[in-house]
């Protein structure tokens, strides 16, 4: 009996150490309200931001480190503060969560909302270069676009052909105008779609299933939560609950249960896609197969996944750059494409890669951050550069 108890204690200690190694330290939650201005659209984007801090509170300093960005789109008539379950779960794990509060009316413009999500993703990277910002030198060049319901559909529009986004994740995503389903065919980044089995507001068969099939990602997964509903991905919201109760008054799952299932898979996926922990991808797939709380569909080009991990990174120098940027491209990308984007996802240059060594003259470009994006078939690599002077 004594040996058995010691063995159990040892197992618990091992699990604690293992979890700590995967998810890192736990942070407190800081909060700031801000207005971002998009001068190309003459539009103010009110945004609530939650971030890792050493103390809880408003406008407190951010913790030391570099943290991935998560931009989250709210649902139709669902206030941003109904999603406190997400920031309470993810900020302590070391993520910065941004919630635009635009398009809250009865006639939201889905395209405008998607452009807001996309703009914030780019703007937060620029904030890391602004020595007057609370986020100065604190943002990792990794960004995820997330969203629920209408915001889930808008997340497809925001991620379409957007080189700044590393992963797409949404919850009970709804079709939008313009079409999220059509936009999905232009999305190649790793994607994770959550659905509720008993969602009568935007049933998976008419929304998320089609979006999943339309995605052009080399690795995409759809998780269908057994007995899951539409509104339970968020916390209590009167209008959402009223709408769902009219078509499904008796969900056979607790809100806490649905959010627990969601968090279990979401944290592992984010650890893989935004923190580059390759072992988390194995854990994620093992969890898919062993869980009795979900059903799932998955398509991952296993050759592509393996190749992505084995292919050398792009060698770019000097970085920061004043004039001539040298790009040493892995051999696997010869005859592929090299594309230069600005922080807002606008394509500035494109060329066919015919040599391993390439040059780009940036002498006439403004100072700031840019992205080098190289791709060939299922292989994709990108890197951020900084232009100075």
* For the chain, counts of helices (H) and of strands (E): 10, 17
- Pick the last residue of a domain from 255, 271, 300: 300
197/289 same-domain check:
yes
pLDDT above 90: residue 81: yes
Which pLDDT value is given to residue 133?
94
Range of the domain at 104: 22-300
| Local structure of residue 351 (DSSP, 8 states) | E
Mean pLDDT along residues 282-298: 91
322/200 same-domain check:
no
pLDDT above 50: residue 260: yes
Whether residue 166 lies inside any domain: the answer is: yes
Please count the other Cβ atoms lying within 10 Å of the Cβ belonging to residue 8.
Answer: 10
Mean pLDDT along residues 17-38: 76
269/340 same-domain check:
no
266/380 same-domain check:
no
Whether residue 12 lies inside any domain: the answer is: no
Whether residue 5 lies inside any domain: the answer is: no
pLDDT above 90: residue 246: no
Whether residue 188 lies inside any domain: the answer is: yes
pTM summary value: 0.77
292/272 same-domain check:
yes
pLDDT above 80: residue 191: yes
267/341 same-domain check:
no
Which pLDDT value is given to residue 142?
92
Residue-wise pLDDT tens digits, 193-204: 999 999 999 999
Which pLDDT value is given to residue 300?
85
> At 353, which CATH number?
2.60.40.3080
Whether residue 41 lies inside any domain: the answer is: yes
41/158 same-domain check:
yes
Q: Is the dihedral of CA 61, 66, 70, 71 positive or negative?
A: positive
334/277 same-domain check:
no
* Residues 78, 39: Cα–Cα separation, whole Å: 27
256/117 same-domain check:
yes
Residue-wise pLDDT tens digits, 320-338: 888 888 888 888 888 888 8
Number of domains composing the chain: 2
Alpha-carbon distances, residue 151 vs 116, 292, 366 (angstroms): 11, 28, 33
Contact of 329 with 153, CB cutoff 8 Å: no
Which pLDDT value is given to residue 5?
46
Contact of 261 with 292, CB cutoff 8 Å: no
Whether residue 199 lies inside any domain: the answer is: yes
* Residues 339, 137: Cα–Cα separation, whole Å: 26
Whether residue 2 lies inside any domain: the answer is: no
350/246 same-domain check:
no
- Pick the last residue of a domain from 300, 320, 348: 300
> At 273, which CATH number?
3.40.50.1820
Contact of 30 with 60, CB cutoff 8 Å: yes
Which pLDDT value is given to residue 25?
76
212/68 same-domain check:
yes
Whether residue 383 lies inside any domain: the answer is: yes
- Pick the last residue of a domain from 242, 271, 300: 300
pLDDT above 90: residue 82: yes
Residue-wise pLDDT tens digits, 148-168: 999 999 999 999 978 889 999
355/258 same-domain check:
no
* Residues 326, 276: Cα–Cα separation, whole Å: 25
């Amino acid at each position: 009996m004594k040996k058995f108890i010691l063995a159990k204690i040892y197992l618990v200690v091992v699990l604690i150490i293992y979890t700590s190694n995967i998810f890192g330290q736990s942070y407190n939650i800081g909060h700031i309200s801000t207005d971002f201005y998009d001068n190309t659209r003459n539009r103010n984007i009110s945004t609530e931001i939650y971030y890792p801090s050493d103390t809880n509170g408003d406008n407190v300093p951010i913790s030391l480190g570099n943290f991935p960005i998560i931009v989250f789109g709210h649902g139709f008539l669902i206030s941003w503060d109904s999603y406190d379950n997400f920031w309470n779960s993810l900020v302590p794990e070391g993520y910065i969560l941004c919630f635009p509060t635009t398009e809250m009316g009865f006639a939201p413009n889905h395209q405008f909302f998607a452009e807001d999500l996309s703009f914030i993703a780019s703007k937060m990277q620029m904030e890391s270069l602004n020595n007057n910002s609370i986020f100065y030198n604190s943002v990792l060049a990794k960004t995820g676009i997330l969203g629920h319901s209408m915001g889930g559909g808008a997340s497809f529009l925001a991620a379409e052909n957007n080189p700044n986004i590393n992963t797409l994740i949404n919850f009970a995503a709804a079709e939008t105008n313009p079409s999220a389903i059509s936009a999905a065919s232009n999305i190649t980044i790793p994607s994770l779609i959550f659905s509720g089995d008993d969602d009568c507001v935007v049933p998976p068969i008419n929304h998320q299933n089609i979006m999943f099939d339309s995605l052009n990602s080399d690795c995409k997964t759809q998780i269908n939560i057994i007995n899951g509903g539409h509104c339970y991905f968020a916390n209590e919201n009167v209008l959402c609950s009223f709408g769902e109760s009219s078509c499904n008054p008796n969900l056979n799952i607790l809100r806490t249960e649905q959010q627990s299932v969601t968090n279990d898979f979401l944290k592992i996926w984010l650890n893989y896609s935004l923190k580059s922990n390759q072992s988390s991808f194995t854990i994620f797939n093992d969890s898919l197969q062993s869980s009795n709380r979900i059903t799932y569909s998955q398509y991952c080009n296993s050759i592509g996944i393996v190749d992505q991990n084995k292919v050398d990174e792009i060698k770019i120098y000097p970085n920061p750059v004043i004039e001539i940027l040298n790009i040493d491209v892995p051999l696997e990308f010869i005859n592929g494409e090299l594309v230069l984007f600005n922080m807002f996802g606008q394509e500035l240059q494109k060329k066919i890669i015919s040599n391993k060594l390439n040059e780009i003259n940036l002498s006439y470009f403004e100072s700031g951050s840019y992205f080098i994006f190289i791709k060939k078939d299922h292989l994709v690599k990108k890197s951020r550069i900084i232009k100075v002077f």
